[in-house]
Structure 1
Amino acid sequence: MSNKTFITIPKSLFEDNNLSNRERMKRVEELAKKQLKNEGEH
């Protein structure tokens, strides 16, 4: 049984050209952590 978790990433995050790749990944990571934490609270 696989445990799949889908993480929602706003499209705007990828359309923001002011962000460097590293900065973008950092934000994605923070979003993921936040959503995974919320997932665990249900």
Structure 2
Amino acid sequence: MSQIAPSPTAAVLIIGDEILSGRTRDTNLNTLARFLAPLGVD
């Protein structure tokens, strides 16, 4: 019987006072998500 491998997952650790306080918007996560989604990464 063949087994289906689980989808790979990714996590991002965001650090920095500007990001955590909301003073700066992180635009890289959106780009990263659009790149990884077609590859099947959750």
- Give the TM interval when normalised to the shorter protein: 0.3 to 0.5
- TM-score between both structures, scaled by the size of structure 2: 0.42
Q: Which of 1 and 2 has higher RCO (CA within 8 Å, sep 6+)?
A: 2
Larger Rg belongs to: 2
- TM-score between both structures, scaled by the size of structure 1: 0.42
Q: Which has the larger helix fraction? A: 1
